[in-house]
Structures are given as structure tokens and as C-alpha cells.
Chain A
């Protein structure tokens, strides 16, 4: 059974700190991996998509990496801000196109 795990479930950091969110997956035939942000009671905002042939993607202060051999992806957030506070979800995309989600990491950035 394909599973996606995110550790830690919650993280609290002071403003300005660089941080790493972790995501692990069991499916070696992964097509892509997508990182999302979810604010309370809202939908998902796509942050980064990494294809299986890629090693990383960058957007502003965000950098996501993908290591298929170890079944891991990381989301690096540089110089965190209070506005980054949200739940971050990673999702594995398979050949069928559906996404398998982790339970998320709830990030709190303190001013």
C-alpha cells in the first residue's frame, strides 16, 4: 500500500529561522511530488511540483528536493516569516494521476 509520511506533525520556530520539512513515500514508481500549503479552513495552494526526473525545484524562499532512491522529499523554507504559518502537505503523484497525501506538518512562525 502506498503511504506518505510527514515528520514532524507540528513545528514552532522563531521568525527568521531557516527550516526543513520532511516527507517520505513508499512508492518507488512515483511520477511526481507536489508540496501544498493549507491555511485553516481553506483549500490547498500549490507551492512546488517536482517531476520524478528532477532533483529539486525552487520558488522564492522555498526549495523542494526529491530523492527517489531513499523515498524522501524535503521542503526548505528560508528566512521564515509569520505569514508562513500554515499546514504544509506533501503529495505523491502516481501513474493514475491521483495524489496520495501525507497528514501534513503544522508550522507556526513566532514573531
Chain B
């Protein structure tokens, strides 16, 4: 069974630009969550999507948004990029149910210059 895949793996953008990251969950998994990892803050929850609806959201500004498609694939968008947005962005998928194991993808390394 294929794992969680994320594209692209690496990205370099300039301040003020916007970026879209993609995540394909494990087959049969309907929940996709996004996390940001930085050296200073560690791993922080961005949002979770289930059945094309945002179900939960972390404490991030509105520049961070996402969506989920009918095939459970998810995209995350960051507009008006800032230097502080440089991070490893990880997505995780699981079947329904809050008590189920989450499986992470390899991440997208975003560098903002």
C-alpha cells in the first residue's frame, strides 16, 4: 500500500509570492491534516480536512488555507509569503476516528527568500 505522498519535495519562493503544496493520502484514508515544522516552534497543527470540509484549525493567520478534493487529496496554500514561513510542511492521513493512528508524508521543504 502506497504511503502518504507530498509534492513538491522542495520549493524556493520569494517574499510576497504565494505557494500551493499538495498531499495525497493513503488509499482509503479520508482525513488529511497539515503541520508546520520549524526549528524554533517545532511541529504545529495547521488544519484538518475530512470529506472536503475543514474540520479543525490551528492558530495560524488567514494567509494559510487549504482544501480537500472528492478523492481525499488535499492542497495547502500560503499567500503573501513571509521569511518566517520557511519550514518543513508535513501532511498526515488517517481513517475516520480521532483515536486512529496518523501516517505522515515526507514533507515539503519551503524556503522563502
Contact = CB atoms under 8 A, between A and B. Distances in A.
Contacts of B99: 31-32, 51-52, 93
B45 A99 contact: yes
Given A96-B56, A97-B33, A98-B58, A103 B102 contact: no
B74 interface: no
Interface in B43-89: 43-45, 48, 55-56, 58, 88
Interface of A: 31-32, 34, 36, 41-46, 49, 51-52, 89, 91, 93-104
Given A31-B99, A97-B33, A101-B42, A44 B104 contact: yes
Interface of B: 4, 6, 31, 33, 35, 42-45, 48, 55-56, 58, 88, 90, 92, 94, 97-99, 101-107, 109
A103 B56 CA distance: 22
Residue of A49, A51, A95, A99 with most partner-chain B CB within 10 A: A99
B30 to A, nearest CB: 12
A89 B42 CA distance: 10
Nearest to B6: A43
B58 A36 contact: no
27 contacts: A32-B99, A34-B102, A36-B104, A43-B4, A43-B90, A44-B92, A46-B101, A49-B101, A91-B43, A94-B98, A96-B48, A96-B56, A97-B48, A97-B55, A97-B56, A97-B97, A97-B98, A98-B33, A98-B48, A98-B56, A99-B35, A99-B92, A99-B102, A101-B35, A101-B43, A101-B44, A104-B42
B62 to A, nearest CB: 18
